C-alpha cells in the first residue's frame, strides 16, 4: 500500500524559498498510473491544489501560483519535491503531498482524485 510522508523546514523567512520533499513508500513513483500532487491548507481554511508532476517530469501548476512554484521528481530516491519562491505570511499553511489519479474519459471529461495523502506538514512564514 502506497504511503507518503512530507519533510522539510517548518519555518521559512519572508522572501525566501519554501522547500518540501515527499517520500513515497510501498510502491514505485515510476510505476505509472499516478500523478504526484502538492496541496495546501491555510489555517482554518479549505484546500488549495498547488500542482502535480508525473514521473516523466511533466508538470501542471495552479495558475494562481504558477509563477512561484516548481515541482520536481527524483525517481532514484522515490521522492518528489515542492519549491515555492518569494514566500510571504500568506503562504503559511499545512502542506500535503498526495498521489493523484487523473485521466480524460472518451467524452473529454477530466477524472481526478487524490489518494493517498501524506499526514501534512505545517510551514510557517515568519521572520
Partner 1 sequence: QSVLTQPPSVSAAPGQKVTISCSGSSSNIGNNYVSWYQQLPGTAPKLLIYENNKRPSGIPDRFSGSKSGTSATLGITGLQTGDEADYYCGTWDSSLSAGGEVFGTGTKVTVL
CA distance 127 to 12: 8
Interface characters, 5-44, with partner 1 (x: CB under 8 A): --------------------------------x-------
CA distance 70 to 33: 21
CA distance 44 to 36: 24
| Residue 124 touches partner 1, criterion: CB under 8 A | no
- Stretch (H or E) spanning 25: strand 18-25
Identified binder of partner 1 from the candidate list 88, 90, 113, 127, rule CB under 8 A = 113
3-state SS, residue 58 = coil
Per the CB < 8 A criterion, the answer to whether 69 and 60 are in contact is no
Site for partner 1 in 55-84 (CB under 8 A): 60-63
Least Å from the CB of residue 73 to partner 1: 18
| Residue 114 touches partner 1, criterion: CB under 8 A | yes
Q: Which residues bind partner 1 (CB under 8 A)?
A: 37, 46-49, 51, 60-63, 96, 101-102, 105, 108-120
Amino acid at each position: 500500500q502506497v504511503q507518503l510522508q512530507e519533510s522539510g523546514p517548518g519555518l521559512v523567512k519572508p522572501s525566501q524559498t519554501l522547500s518540501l520533499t515527499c517520500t513515497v513508500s510501498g510502491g514505485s513513483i515510476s510505476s505509472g498510473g499516478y500523478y504526484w500532487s502538492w496541496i495546501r491548507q491555510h489555517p482554518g481554511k479549505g484546500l488549495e491544489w498547488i500542482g502535480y508532476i508525473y514521473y516523466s517530469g511533466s508538470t501542471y501548476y495552479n495558475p494562481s501560483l504558477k509563477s512561484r512554484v516548481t515541482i520536481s521528481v527524483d525517481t532514484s530516491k522515490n521522492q518528489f519535491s515542492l519549491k515555492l519562491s518569494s514566500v510571504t505570511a500568506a503562504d503559511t499553511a499545512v502542506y500535503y503531498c498526495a498521489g493523484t489519479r487523473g485521466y480524460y474519459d472518451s467524452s473529454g471529461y477530466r477524472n481526478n482524485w487524490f489518494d493517498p495523502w501524506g499526514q501534512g506538514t505545517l510551514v510557517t512564514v515568519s521572520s
